[in-house]
Structure 1
Amino acid sequence: MIPTVVAKKIAERDQETVIENDVKEEVVEEDDPYAQYVVPDDLMW
């Protein structure tokens, strides 16, 4: 995977070289009971 900017430059030269991946953005449900809780960045599992 490469940044979108780089992929666009490559695609300008050769359309068949770049394979796009449809990344879905994270959707937050309005009725999520845990929405008020923040997950720390340094959480260790």
Structure 2
Amino acid sequence: MDHRKYKKMLIKGILEFQTKNQFCAEDLKSKSIRALEIIYDNVE
């Protein structure tokens, strides 16, 4: 899996698991992979 596919997977997971609509896809696309990993681990 290359970094683009990994980033898309993280964004998709965040958008699916969030319950309070904290994030939108446009905002997540501008974040680094490490930031997305942290958000993914802590999303409610």
The alignment's TM-score, normalised by the length of structure 2, stands at: 0.30
Structure with higher Rg: it is: 1
Structure with larger RCO (C-alpha < 8 A, sep 6+): 2
Higher helix share: 2
Give the TM-score normalised by the residue count of structure 1: 0.30
